[in-house]
Structures are given as C-alpha cells and as structure tokens.
C-alpha cells in the first residue's frame, strides 16, 4: 500500500492493523469520525509532524505487507510442489 499525506485514515487502518498501533504511539486514538480524514488533515488537527508519522507508517505497513507476502509464498510453494512432484522426476531422466 502506498501511503501519502492524502491517504485516508480509514483506508489505512483497514488495510493494516499496524497502522492503528503507529497512530496510537503518537497519541491518536482513531475514531469513526477520523476515517474520512486524510493523514495530513489528521496531523494538522492534532499538531503532529506528518513527515515523522509517514516514515513510521511506511515502515510498519511495509513490514505487514512483507509478512502477508511470505504467507502467500508458503501457500503457493506447498501447492506447487505437491502438484508437480511427478513432473520433476520425468524431467531429470
């Protein structure tokens, strides 16, 4: 997920549970009324540094995305190996 100043808070916290934790670290308890705000608007209202928050959010949300990718790769590899096991033996002869 690409996170910018224009990213909506609701989209961000829905896409990544880690995003809510990062915002909480900055003292932001995300409420339903915040969901329509852009990150920049939220930061301006709460007098927070948008650049610092963006760095932390990008780092944590990227980590979440990487974890999800790892899970998908494991699932794909397991299915692929089981399906092509006979084909691999034929190719080696």
pLDDT of residue 50: 97
More confident residue, 48 or 70: 48
Single pTM value for the model: 0.65
Summarize pLDDT for 14-51 with one digit per residue, the tens.
999 899 999 999 999 998 888 999 999 999 999 999 99
Higher pLDDT, 47 or 63: 47
The yes-or-no verdict on residue 55 having pLDDT over 90 is: yes
By the 8 A CB rule, do 11 and 3 touch? no
User: 40 CB contacts (<8 Å, ≥6 apart)?
Assistant: 5, 6, 50
Asked if residue 37 lies in contact with residue 9, where contact means CB atoms within 8 angstroms, the answer is: yes
């Amino acid at each position: 997920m690409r996170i910018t100043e224009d990213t909506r808070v609701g989209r961000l916290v829905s896409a990544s549970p880690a995003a809510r934790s990062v915002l909480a670290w900055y003292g932001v308890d995300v409420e339903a009324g915040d969901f329509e705000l852009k990150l920049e608007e939220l930061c301006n209202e709460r007098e927070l540094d948008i650049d610092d928050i963006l760095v932390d959010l990008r780092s944590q949300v990227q980590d979440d995305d990487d974890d999800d990718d790892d899970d998908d790769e494991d699932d794909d590899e397991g299915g692929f190996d089981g399906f092509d096991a006979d084909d691999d033996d034929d190719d080696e002869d």
